[in-house]
Structure 1
Amino acid sequence: MDKKLAIIGLGYVGLPLAVAFGNKYSVIGFDINTTRINELKNGIDKTLEVSTEKLKATQQLAFSDDVEAIRGADIYIITVPTPIDHSKQPDLTPLRKSSESIGKVLKKGDIVVYESTVFPGCTEEICVPILEAQSGLKYNEDFYCGYSPERINPGDKVHTVTKIKKVVSGSTPEVGQELNDLYASIITAGTYLASSIKVAEAAKVIENSQRDLNIAFVNELALIFDKLDIDTHDVLEAAGTKWNFLPFRPGLVGGHCIGVDPYYLTHKAESIGYNPQVILSGRRINDNMGQYVANKIIKLLIQGNFTIRESRVLILGFTFKENCPDTRNTRVIDVVKELKEFGVNVEVHDPHADKHEVMEEYGLDLIDQPDGQYEGIMLAVSHTEFENFPLSTYKKENAIVYDVKAFFNKEQVDARL
């Protein structure tokens, strides 16, 4: 297949995909972030998904922040973020703007593929009309579309983009097969050709909704067992001896997928007159876990006879998952805000998070290293760097340790989520 590809959006999804394709095809990677483009040109990936060696070794990959640079491509693959707004409604601004940009350079015979997580119908109901309006071309006559949901797991060096089975779909059977062949040429784990774009969109959005519900279930168990004075992890380990018990664990559910995608599905459901109950119930539980964790810390401090307004609490970890610099939609911020409302002096240390990004996005000043001793220490993210963290060095006498991830030895902590 002699095709030129353009990858739109070079974040956690787009960059690994561009590198994978760049080993076989001529690829131009486009992003509106000029700083990001300059870093990539110098072989630097701040997301740590692609090494400098791999970036420099990808011969057929170029980077640009000029939309004219992607003109002439045959296949455009859009991998921009699809977040939610403050009202927990889908924010399609990046998707709309990228569609407008592609529409301006689109020519006859081109294919536009979307990888961003959306609700079923979004590609053809929202994006296609924008492409038609900007290009003056007609859908499925002059140009075509596809949807192949991203399956990137940030920070995972084992399940990388080429090693995860890829769902593919096209706006016509012929386009579907062409795209399936294209992805199959780089995805060693294989591909699955879905029957329609809507099916592929729906498949993606339920993947993370299912995980969200499973985590919500064990989070609710944690709330119940806390009242019963039972260690949740002890219960889960015992239950896990049954062969078909699913190994989910309680925690703060953040990130750009699990904590966001269910709202895309519920938004679409509500737009067609159905009020989803199970999905939103799970979301409510998970969205409130930060508040629960903060209140648990306050109770532990009171039990330790500490004065709340004078207490210093150290939080270890701020990213949404371990060994990853991604702070998007991290729910650790909920714990920070709640503790601060009680008057607690909160300090957050994370060796992976970008201090400037955290300050810009959350108004929080991360500390480089813990300083002195604290009345309370909370393990929020199980970074490898915290494995041998010297708790005794930073604990005041009778200080409490709360472990959200059941990461430390049980004997070292006062309570676990």
Structure 2
Amino acid sequence: MSDTALGPLRVLDFSRVLAGPFATMLLADFGANVLKVERPGTGDDTRSWGPPYDASGQATYFQSVNRNKTSVALDLGDPDDLAQARALALAADVVVENFRPGVMDRLGLGPDTLRAANPRLVYCSITGFGSGGGAALPGYDLLIQAVGGLMSITGEPDGEPQKAGVALVDVLAGLFASVGILAALRHRDRTGEGQRVEIDLLSSLLAALVNQGSAYTSGGTVPARMGNRHPSIAPYELVPCADHEIALAVGNDRQFAALCEVIGLPELAGQDRFATNPARVEHRAELRVLLEEQLSRRPAADWAAELSAAGVPAGEVNDIAGAFALAERLGLNPTVELPRPDGTPVRLTRNPIGLSATPARYETAPPADPGQLVLPLPGWD
């Protein structure tokens, strides 16, 4: 498609569940022709991951990462289907897969084999722990969060380690995969040569630890769980009000002075123990007592409104419905509706990337069932 950023790029997607499908959906949103290869009959694992289901009976998990794609059902254990998969791979610009290391090589669909026949091919592999010593380890998001350190810094200090409320590492890996694919395509534009892109979930998580990771690598400090508090900023946490908590994210001294003014304690900003952020971090327990005493006198919504008006980052703790409602009120248009073949719509979260000339497109709902291969396929002949 000439009016899209990535048309007419052809992406053959052997991946399933979350990280790979998320990466290929991002490419599809910007015009790539993504053909999803699924198992005959059952399809992607997430087709059966429910509840919840939408009104048509489709699993909402599968829908979240598979819009703008077409689907073909191929049994890679069948010689004829395998031959068709190989033909499609050789016609592709990009192949994405997240099988265990070695599986695609045994099928004759590995990167060395395909790139020998098509040197322009960009081949992206997503694994849990890489293709070396961790090749045999299963790459489930919960496991990665546990062994990768994220759970050790999530939760209350005296409670058990906690996972994030979404499969965050899979999402991060999908984002890294899409960036890697685009970088490889840019290299191909200059040289005519494709390359292999390798993403593993553990490395993705370690890279995403950012300041917590550098606390260890550069500072020799092993971070620990602090609940909703921040290791380097105060106040940066939830504080109870008369009805429920408010989130305070005070990032500098000016914001802290404004906070003190709004809550009726302007003198705190001038005290040595609170005048600078390092001092506030050192005396965070004392500061917490004072904030709770003041904020507990009024509802969270009242404080959030006044603090926001004064330039202090503050807000109520929303549920998912409240989060989408906030985005609507702010004019962010957080959802899109895509038509199904029967005419009924499916409502999904929009792509957050805004491009002025070639914005994301929303053309087709996630495929309702694993498709049947009919050759020639538009854009693949």
TM-score, normalised relative to structure 2: 0.32
Flag the structure with larger Rg: 2
Which one has more relative contact order, counting CA pairs under 8 Å at least 6 apart?
Answer: 2
